[in-house]
Amino acid sequence: MAERSVPQPGLERLVDFRSGPVIAGFSPGQHPLVAVTAARLAESLGGDVVHLAFVDTNRYTVEEFGDGTVRHAPIDPDAEARDWRSIREELEDQAAAVFADSGVGIDWRLWYLAGRPDRSLTHLARALDASVFVVGSRSHKPGRRFRELAEGSVSNHLAHHQHRPVLTVPIEVVDWKDARTPWRP
């Protein structure tokens, strides 16, 4: 099997932050700090909109379109279509509330994507010619920690599978003295 050449990051591929929009990972119940940080970054770079992207991992992408949208279907064939629509409505309400209280002076747009978060976000970034991703840091809560350990973090996958910079916003901090290490459970 022939080895494939993958374009690598380099000075010739350096993204000018002022050239494209900011994409923020966005999910139900997420701390508003991630979306507001992305919006303030977009605003400081002269943008007029921040792109909030939710990736539904219970659905898969059937078709990707050039404008960044996708046609998707449920992994579970018994899932109802209104399930994803209610999640989208919840996300729109959440975003409206976050931006009403943020003091940020730019608009937002919500993208509902499906499948693997890193691949879906990369597709959107290519379609929009985005300049940077903004995502939240990992959670230290027991249930989420196991899932992230098994699946890996979105920021790590993005940093290793595409050439745009990834800004990780800390949403939960652990005191150094309380940090868990492999040698101290």
The burial class, CB within 10 Å (0-12 / 13-18 / 19+), for 178 is exposed
Q: What is the pLDDT of residue 164?
A: 85
Q: What is the pLDDT of residues 91-132, one digit of tens each?
A: 999 999 999 988 888 999 999 999 988 889 989 998 999 999
Residue 52 lies in a domain: yes
* Closest to 45 measured CA to CA, from 16, 70, 67, 65: 16
Q: What is the pLDDT of residue 172?
A: 78
Q: What is the pLDDT of residue 171?
A: 84
- If phi > 0 it is left, if psi is from -120 to 50 it is alpha, else beta; for residue 132 that is beta
- Percent of the chain residues past pLDDT 90, beyond the cut: 45
How many domains does the chain divide into?
1
Residue 178 lies in a domain: no
Structure tokens given for 52: 């909030």
Residue 30 lies in a domain: yes
Residue 126's domain comprises 17-171
Q: Residue 141 maps to which CATH number?
A: 3.40.50.620
SS3 107: strand
SS3 136: strand
Task: Check: pTM over 0.85? Answer yes or no.
Answer: no
Q: What is the pLDDT of residues 136-162, one digit of tens each?
A: 886 655 555 544 444 457 666 666 567
Q: What is the pLDDT of residue 182?
A: 59
Q: What is the pLDDT of residue 137?
A: 82
Q: How far apart are CA 83 and CA 91, in angstroms?
A: 13
Q: What is the pLDDT of residue 12?
A: 75
Q: How far apart are CA 4 and CA 17, in angstroms?
A: 29
Structure tokens given for 180: 């868990």
Residue 43 lies in a domain: yes
Q: What is the pLDDT of residue 130?
A: 92
Residue 179 lies in a domain: no
